Amino acid sequence: MRLLFIGDVVGRAGRAVLVETLPELRRAWSLDCVIVNGENAAGGFGITETICNDFLAAGADCVTLGNHAFDQREAQVFITREPRLIRPLNYPRGTPGRGATLVETAAGASVLVVNLMGRVFMDAMDDPFAAIERELEACPLGTGCDAAVVDFHAEASSEKQAFANFVDGRVSLVVGTHTHVPTADHRILPHGTGYMTDVGMTGDYESVIGMDKDEPIRRFTTKLPSGRFEPAMGAATLCGVAAEIDPLGLATKIAPVRIGGKIAGARPDFWLKAAEPVV
């Protein structure tokens, strides 16, 4: 099974590169499942129903969220009727929406997608470790699903690494989101779970984590807000991680994906045709 996870889509620039690039990636790489983090898609803060539908139409099978899940108030309504849009599982009881979903691939396989949020340097949330235990007990890899992917939306690298090792061998892939900077530690853990501390953002890297530079710099230098954060509008990079999953639901290959924009490109060489450039 071929999986592609695409990192936090930020603003109009990020949306544009995703919608323009994903259909061709899906075709060229014969992807079975595509997951997109969309929590910064609407002006950098949250997601709208129209944007979510655009991502699904472009080839996403599931859209995950994070700490900005409900910044757009309409999300509280449409998330309840769109099973392919999920928010962190460990939000408090009573929060609208769901924290996990099962994606059925064209080949008939089932992929459990779970969204969780960390607690270090983040808003107070329920325990993500206990939450994933309950979810994997209800839908274990191999009997309840053919593959399992976790979007762990968190600030601290240590928390992401601890979580990934906690579920190693019980899920196919753990991908860190939230910090908007791709890490270089993509690898397969000892018991077969693919892992990357942060997949990076899909947005304009000529920015401050996706935002136009002026306001963040002003706040750092004066400690005074003088306006809204606005997404940077330059050429965006699509950032993601590609993984190949075996019949047991464990990762056999993993590679970063970076296409377009200002940072160095990367593509999974194990899926490329001989004539296709690696970057």
Residue 220 has pLDDT above 70, yes or no: yes
User: Model confidence over 131-158: pLDDT tens digits?
Assistant: 999 999 999 999 999 999 999 999 999 9
> What does the DSSP 8-state code read for residue 106?
T
Q: Which CATH class is domain 2-259?
A: alpha beta
**Among 17, 135, 44, residue whose Cα is nearest residue 86:** 135
pLDDT score at 274: 47
What's the chain's Rg over C-alpha atoms? 18
The pTM of the full predicted model, rounded to 2 decimals, is: 0.95
C-alpha to C-alpha distances, 244 to 56, 117, 231, nearest whole angstrom: 22, 25, 33
pLDDT tens per residue, range 64-109:
999 999 999 999 999 999 999 999 999 999 999 999 999 999 999 9
- The catalytic position among 68, 153, 178, 180 is 68
Question: What are the DSSP calls for 191-257, one per residue?
Answer: TS-EEES----BB-SSSBTTB-SHHHHHHHHHS---S---B--S--BEEEEEEEE-TTS-EEEEEEE
In whole angstroms, give the CA distance from residue 33 to residue 31. Answer: 6
At 226 the pLDDT is: 85
Q: Rounded CA gap, 29 and 270, in Å?
A: 10
Asked if 68 is an active-site residue, the reply is yes
Model confidence at 45: pLDDT above 60: yes
pLDDT at position 271 over 80: yes
Query: Are 87 and 125 within 8 A, CB to CB?
Result: no
Q: Measured between alpha carbons, how far is 202 from 40 in angstroms, rounded to an integer?
A: 10
> Looking at residue 56, what is its pLDDT?
98
CB 89 within 8 A of CB 135: yes
For 189, residues 6+ apart whose C-beta sits below 8 A from its C-beta are 164, 165, 168, 169, 195
